[in-house]
Amino acid sequence: RIPVIFDTDPGIDDALALALLASHPRFDLLAVTAVFGNAAVDITARNARGLCALFQSDVPVAVGAAGPLLDSRRRDGAAHVHGDDGIGGLSGQLPAPQRALDPRPAHVLICDMVNARPGEITLVAVGPFTNLALALRHDPGIAGKVKQVVVMGGAFGLKGHSGNVSPVAEANIMADPEAADQVFTAPWPVIIVGLDVTQEVIMREADLARLQGRGQGAGDLLWQATRHYQQFYDARDGIGGIYAHDASAAAILLVPEAFTLRDGPVRVVLDGIATGQTIQDWRQEHRGDTPWNGQPVQRVCVAVDAPRVLALFDAIY
Ligand code: BDR
Ligand code: CA
């Protein structure tokens, strides 16, 4: 089984990712850490606890960052995408949490768990990357002890996919560009699952409807929550479904052969009109005096076999 700490801002597509992580037999979910993003962090933490209860996963949940590393980066939330309560108005229907909140801040929980099991734990991060950046600051040694980091974030301009909060920037990066740049340039292996592939993984209405009646209420709630999310995407992109952004980051651990990866250092644009853009230098030539020179080689997803990813949802309940 794959030991995972899940860093998240639930979030409707976050909830689908958590369903996979909590319910697929090949995952060993160790903890969930909440971060601001799709809603304020007290809301995303409450959702995370209620979702863990819904998915019958009795793991620690810790509260993380309430905002980005730099105050000047604060932006409006994503209520128009995920609803005021982060999960399409359904937070009141989540079961009561089964255990108390973990007393540690999220980044401390991450450091403690990674130090206790060096080389074993995968971090899956699908919100702004502030908790991960704070963990690196708190204990830089964890970079050498994490097995790998898988993030949903970024947009690399492939296959006509652009950013979703600016022509070049994706939401999780734009929410805290400094944190994202620190995570991508830390000496740990990062796999970046960006919009270029997540916008190819479309759960159509029929796929979502199949969740109903499954997982002792979990499937019904996910179906209901995705109604809100689907309305947003139908109005914007007319896709007749939703993008499974965050679940794609969990999926790459189960079906790595469904993803094509490209290697090279990745940086985030930190000022000007392209702020939040992610750029990989995948050229094999000498990088010269550029911001990519000397940075760790990370892996960016450039193609996906979407049906392989979508099939995972038929396997969990
Ligand atoms: C990302 O932004 C959030 O709204 C989603 O949960 C996902 O993590 C997509 O850009
Ligand atoms: Ca998210």
- For residue 306, the CA-to-ligand 2 centroid distance in Å is 19
H or E, element range at 159: none
Nearest-angstrom CA–CA distance, 192 and 300: 5
Which residues lie below 8 Å from residue 206, measured CB to CB, with a gap of 6+?
none
One digit per residue, the tens of pLDDT, for the chain of length 317 reads 999 999 999 999 999 999 999 999 999 999 999 999 999 999 999 999 999 999 999 999 999 999 999 999 998 877 888 888 999 888 899 999 988 999 999 999 999 999 999 999 999 999 999 999 999 999 999 999 999 999 999 999 998 889 999 999 999 999 999 999 999 999 999 999 999 999 999 999 999 999 999 988 999 999 999 998 898 889 888 999 999 999 999 999 999 999 999 999 999 999 999 999 999 999 988 888 999 999 999 999 999 999 999 999 988 76
Atom of ligand 1 nearest to the CA of 198: 9
Question: Could you count the other beta carbons within 10 Å of the beta carbon of residue 293?
Answer: 11
Q: What is the CA radius of gyration of the chain?
A: 18
What are the strands of the beta sheet with 259-264, ordered from one edge?
A: 61-63, 27-34, 2-8, 122-125, 148-152, 190-193, 298-304, 259-264
Q: How far is the CA of 71 from the CAs of 39, 57, 143, 157, in angstroms? A: 17, 34, 25, 28
pLDDT of residue 161: 84
pLDDT of residue 315: 80
Q: Give the residue, by CA position, lying nearest to ligand 1 atom 4.
A: 38
pLDDT of residue 126: 98
User: Concatenated DSSP letters for 192-225?
Assistant: EE-HHHHTT-EEEHHHHHTTTT-TTTHHHHHHHH
Nearest-angstrom CA–CA distance, 299 and 192: 6
pLDDT of residue 78: 79
What number is the ipTM of this complex? Answer: 0.99
Nearest-angstrom CA–CA distance, 154 and 146: 21
Describe the crossing of helices 41-54 and 12-23 by its angle, rounded to 10 degrees.
Answer: 40
Atom of ligand 1 nearest to the CA of 127: 8
Task: Measure the CA dihedral 247/251/253/258, to 10°.
Answer: -140
Lining ligand 1 with CB less than 6 A are: 11, 13-14, 38, 78, 81, 126, 152, 164, 170-172, 245-246
Atom of ligand 1 nearest to the CA of 81: 4
- For residue 289, the CA-to-ligand 1 centroid distance in Å is 33
Which ligand approaches the C-alpha of residue 229 most closely? 1
Tokens of 310: 């979508």
pTM of the complete model: 0.97
User: Concatenated DSSP letters for 232-274?
Assistant: HHHHHH--SEEE-HHHHHHHHHH-GGGEEEEEE-EEE--SSTT
Active-site residue list: 245
Place of tokens 């892996």: 299
Which residues lie below 8 Å from residue 9, measured CB to CB, with a gap of 6+?
34, 35, 36, 37, 38, 39, 41, 44, 86, 126, 127, 128
Place of tokens 């000022």: 271
- For residue 205, the CA-to-ligand 1 centroid distance in Å is 19
Nearest-angstrom CA–CA distance, 121 and 211: 29
Nearest-angstrom CA–CA distance, 191 and 125: 10
pLDDT of residue 160: 83
**Burial (0-12, 13-18, 19+ Cβ within 10 Å), 62:** buried
pLDDT of residue 76: 80
Tokens of 91: 């937070």
